[in-house]
Homo-oligomer: A and B are copies of this chain.
């Protein structure tokens, strides 16, 4: 059995007993083991701060972008291998695995391009210069400069490739060295990604922790950043832990993302079909293990029956089973813990709603017997969404969603307490305007599904490097990606005031805004 290693101080090193075991979630067979016991995280942090930080800050944005491009290309060369690993260790179908691996390659390439667009600059201006004195000679500018610390990335089990890459791309382009820690259970893909990254990224700019983070977080200070993706419970612990250290924390947590169908959308219309297709994709892609997946579906009262019927019909075509089989469209959950949690979540939902599909989540026909973390897609119907408790509070991180009728859907959406994404399907501008502004303070992203964008979108669950990823409240309050905005987490915004010519000499403005930056 392969023993995975960590990459610290520019060297690969294995931990000591006890080891954690990684398994194939379809067969429960052990695939690899890992440990960080005995590794020196203090030395790793110092190495990153002393070697990686100064090295990156010396590089222009274009040079940092070139590193990302090299990593992206190297990953592309190993794409098939990475996809195989994701299928094995993550329980991904080939489509799911491509979604993760291609997401990683594409995000790195996107940030490489943004870096190229910023050229020789070392710090990014925020907005225009502003006159402060009687004459324009005395002026002020705002700059984003790299923090003088380390970025610790704690990724979730569901996107070992994409999660690692999206965080790394933003931090490295911003000029901050990273220490990347994947979820142990699905670390096989991230480990390979790190092996490839370790060959193209200069020593100290990239480190990799494969297993428990030990005392790593206790050694952080106010110039450091932790970017965490995972559960609200772990996020709360991190918040408490880092509050005393002063390190900046970005949380991207679970959320109860809603899909809203406008009352104008007729069954069978293009917008209707987009809605049905998006919801079913979001429920079943990666077996619903996406923090952006649709969990709550709100439709006008008159549309409930038709929508429920259409969703059930599509869910019935999903084939659950071993993801390597070509006819299988949904693999298992990724871990035994996930299976336990999802089953418990289904039970809680069942106490206040009726099952319209999938009942208790047990797989009837297609799944292999006995082994593997398989679960059926489940659709619940809530008769009383205004007073439902579980519906708006407990995310079931699997192929599970609840549909309900409502004539005031925005109020129900708000009850989720903050989400990563809300999707609104309508071609009625007044409805859209009202709904969008009512739910906007509660979200990091809103997807407008209309007939005009049919055939162009990947659905609300796809996280794009151009748009912000994160959300307020329940979703953790974080912000990642969003083009150049993604660098802000790793930067200090500082105002400079003084002689205008001096400011322009010290920190030149970008001649031409980058096309893809959206900034």
The contact string, 1 if C-beta is below 8 Å from chain B, for chain A 445-483, is 111111011001100000010111000111001010011
The contact string, 1 if C-beta is below 8 Å from chain B, for chain A 486-508, is 00000011111111011101110
Known A472-B492, A482-B142, A518-B142; contact A223-B441, beta-carbon cutoff 8 A? yes
**CB <8 Å contact, A452 and B417:** no
Looking at the complex, which of A95-103, A122-130, A183-191, A370-378 is the stretch in contact with chain B?
A122-130
The contact string, 1 if C-beta is below 8 Å from chain B, for chain A 398-419, is 0000000000000000100110
**CB <8 Å contact, B132 and A448:** no
Question: Across chains A and B, which 9 residue pairs bring their CB atoms closest together, nearest first?
Answer: A448-B498, A133-B456, A130-B518, A452-B499, A222-B473, A467-B495, A138-B456, A148-B441, A445-B495
Q: In the assembled complex, which residues on chain B have CB atoms less than 8 Å from the CB atom of A105?
A: none
Task: Confirm or deny: A442 has a beta carbon within 8 angstroms of a beta carbon on chain B.
Answer: yes
**CB <8 Å contact, B240 and A243:** yes
Task: Confirm or deny: A433 has a beta carbon within 8 angstroms of a beta carbon on chain B.
Answer: yes
Known A142-B518, A482-B142; contact A448-B497, beta-carbon cutoff 8 A? yes
Task: Confirm or deny: A513 has a beta carbon within 8 angstroms of a beta carbon on chain B.
Answer: yes
**CB <8 Å contact, B499 and A142:** no
Task: Confirm or deny: A356 has a beta carbon within 8 angstroms of a beta carbon on chain B.
Answer: no
Please, how many angstroms separate the alpha-carbon atoms of A300 and B468 in the complex? 46
**CB <8 Å contact, B137 and A453:** yes
Q: In the assembled complex, which residues on chain B have CB atoms less than 8 Å from the CB atom of A519?
A: 127-128
Task: Confirm or deny: A392 has a beta carbon within 8 angstroms of a beta carbon on chain B.
Answer: no
Please, how many angstroms separate the alpha-carbon atoms of A437 and B440 in the complex? 37
Task: Confirm or deny: A345 has a beta carbon within 8 angstroms of a beta carbon on chain B.
Answer: no
**CB <8 Å contact, A248 and B477:** yes
Q: In the assembled complex, which residues on chain B have CB atoms less than 8 Å from the CB atom of A479?
A: 493
Please, how many angstroms separate the alpha-carbon atoms of A350 and B432 in the complex? 66
Count copies of this chain in the complex: 2
Contact for A494 among B135, B432, B440, B513, CB less than 8 A: B440
**CB <8 Å contact, A138 and B473:** no
Of chain B, the residue at the smallest CB distance from A57 is B437
Q: In the assembled complex, which residues on chain B have CB atoms less than 8 Å from the CB atom of A325?
A: none
**Residue from A123, A140, A239 with most neighbouring chain B CB atoms (10 Å):** A140
Of chain B, the residue at the smallest CB distance from A472 is B492
Of chain B, the residue at the smallest CB distance from A498 is B448
**CB <8 Å contact, A456 and B502:** no
**CB <8 Å contact, A473 and B437:** no
**CB <8 Å contact, B496 and A466:** no
Please, how many angstroms separate the alpha-carbon atoms of A501 and B448 in the complex? 12
**CB <8 Å contact, B137 and A456:** yes
Please, how many angstroms separate the alpha-carbon atoms of A444 and B132 in the complex? 17
Q: In the assembled complex, which residues on chain B have CB atoms less than 8 Å from the CB atom of A503?
A: 448
- With both chains docked as a complex, state the minimum distance between the C-beta of A171 and any C-beta of chain B, in angstroms: 14
Contact for A493 among B223, B448, B468, CB less than 8 A: B468
Known A444-B494, A449-B498; contact A464-B142, beta-carbon cutoff 8 A? no
Task: Confirm or deny: A361 has a beta carbon within 8 angstroms of a beta carbon on chain B.
Answer: no
- With both chains docked as a complex, state the minimum distance between the C-beta of A144 and any C-beta of chain B, in angstroms: 10
5 new A-B pairs (CB below 8 Å) besides A448-B499, A453-B499? A127-B518, A130-B467, A223-B473, A447-B498, A448-B498
- With both chains docked as a complex, state the minimum distance between the C-beta of A457 and any C-beta of chain B, in angstroms: 6
**CB <8 Å contact, B495 and A453:** no
Contact for A130 among B248, B448, B466, B507, CB less than 8 A: B466
Task: Confirm or deny: A246 has a beta carbon within 8 angstroms of a beta carbon on chain B.
Answer: yes
Q: In the assembled complex, which residues on chain B have CB atoms less than 8 Å from the CB atom of A513?
A: 128
- With both chains docked as a complex, state the minimum distance between the C-beta of A243 and any C-beta of chain B, in angstroms: 6
- With both chains docked as a complex, state the minimum distance between the C-beta of A151 and any C-beta of chain B, in angstroms: 13
- With both chains docked as a complex, state the minimum distance between the C-beta of A85 and any C-beta of chain B, in angstroms: 29
Task: Confirm or deny: A512 has a beta carbon within 8 angstroms of a beta carbon on chain B.
Answer: no
Contact for A502 among B240, B429, B440, B502, CB less than 8 A: B429
Contact for A456 among B134, B414, B506, CB less than 8 A: B134
Known A148-B441, A446-B494, A483-B130; contact A472-B222, beta-carbon cutoff 8 A? yes
Task: Confirm or deny: A436 has a beta carbon within 8 angstroms of a beta carbon on chain B.
Answer: yes
Please, how many angstroms separate the alpha-carbon atoms of A499 and B57 in the complex? 39
**CB <8 Å contact, B429 and A505:** yes
Task: Confirm or deny: A145 has a beta carbon within 8 angstroms of a beta carbon on chain B.
Answer: yes
- With both chains docked as a complex, state the minimum distance between the C-beta of A491 and any C-beta of chain B, in angstroms: 8
Task: Confirm or deny: A197 has a beta carbon within 8 angstroms of a beta carbon on chain B.
Answer: no
Contact for A446 among B132, B239, B495, CB less than 8 A: B495
